[in-house]
Amino acid sequence: MKSGWISVATAALVATVAGVGGTLPVILAAAQAMGATPAQASSWVAGLGIATAASSLYLSLRYRMPITAAWSTSGAALIASTQGVPGLHAAVGAFVLAGALIVLTAVIRPLARLIQRIPASIASAMLAGILLHLVMAMAEQVPVQPLLVVPLIVLFLVARVRLPALASLVVLIAGGLLAWALGLVKPIPPLGLSHLELILPVWDFGTLIGLGVPLYLVTMASQNLPGFAVLRSAGYDPPTHASLVVTGAASVATAFLGAHTSNLAAISAALCTGPDAHPDPAQRWKTGVFYAFFWGVMALFGASLVGLFGALPPALLMTIAGTALLGATAGSLGQALAVEKERLAAAGTLAVTLSGITLFGVGSAFWGLIFGLLVLGLERLLKR
């Protein structure tokens, strides 16, 4: 019994550390892109921690399954790459909309069916276009800080073969040490508790459509659906309706703290649902409880995390974010181009999304999706 508690606690701790350490730079890039102050960025991170901890604790206790939540990494990448948003208050309006749409997906079945009818190739191409922005930003740092960036990219490629779940964490730790050795680390601020700040939304139509709708779509397609798949592959029958309602409602509530969407975990969920967490599947729900505790601690000291990462050089943060998203980018590209008859539409979606264009105040991710659907629809119409 004692060893069982140790294994579930260890699995939850590894999942939390790997999830936070590997992708927090993506969150900070999103906050910076929206013009968030350091205090607002701290509130953003703390809000995500609160939503993740509360959702994981409730769902795991209620359904006796290792149901874990996480922040939307792909959503953060979308935010970081979206141009033309007039400020954080307008972004918060989009965050509220995305969370509300997740709840509505559980409540209104026709909406769920409509989302499911979007071809996987088009959705994957939109996600790939979003992620490529941050991967390209990593490559752009090579001539800026070659002694820092190149060794870390090589380290990541080696670590992902040996320790795939912890590769990003390895890069983070090694990168911090290397940056310190090169004299690139600023003074680290003292340990401090998180600051929560109420950020009222501004309902800007262009931001709601150009950021809110794509944020909802990428969260559903790249986070929630894989999260359900991980649970099913581990032998569980996840409560899809309740999971979407809980994570969607948590996203709406914490949006007023500046936080973007929360959702079911996928990669970290795999660490909590396997036999390494506990040999008895009926006992693995306890990982969700420990996972919620560790995320609660993260929320409490989120300001310190923001300050710590703020002391690191931008080239390091971009490298960590780029390497963390490299696998997801490859997977999205592969799925986008897998179906030959949908390949042209997917390529168009990728190109428009990657272009970063803004039309009528609406960002490129939305237009990429629309363009891909139009190409696909036109091809099918003319071939009848």
Reference 265, options 47, 46, 74; nearest CA is 74
Q: What is the pLDDT of residues 258-317, one digit of tens each?
A: 999 999 987 677 777 777 677 788 888 899 999 999 999 889 887 787 777 778 888 888
CA distances from 172 to 24, 31, 118, 190 (A): 10, 19, 36, 20
pLDDT category of residue 223 using cuts at 50, 70 and 90: confident
Q: What is the pLDDT of residues 85-143, one digit of tens each?
A: 899 999 999 999 999 999 999 888 777 677 667 787 887 887 788 778 778 888 998 99
Burial level of 382, CB count in 10 A (0-12/13-18/19+)? exposed
Asked whether residue 151 carries a pLDDT value surpassing 60, the answer given is yes
Q: Any idea of the CA torsion for 50, 54, 55, 61, to the nearest 10 degrees?
A: 160
Asked whether residue 188 carries a pLDDT value surpassing 50, the answer given is yes
Count of other CB atoms within 10 angstroms of residue 334? 11
CA distances from 73 to 85, 143, 239, 269 (A): 19, 27, 23, 14
Asked whether residue 1 carries a pLDDT value surpassing 50, the answer given is no
Compare 5 and 150 and report the one with higher pLDDT: 150
pLDDT category of residue 204 using cuts at 50, 70 and 90: very high
Q: What is the pLDDT of residues 340-361, one digit of tens each?
A: 888 999 999 999 988 877 776 6
Interacting residues of 60 by C-beta distance below 8 A, sequence separation 6+: 66, 67, 68, 285, 286, 287, 288, 289, 291, 292
Express as a percent the part of the chain with pLDDT over 70: 95
Q: What is the mean pLDDT of the chain?
A: 85
Model pTM score: 0.78
What average pLDDT does the segment 363-369 reach? Answer: 80
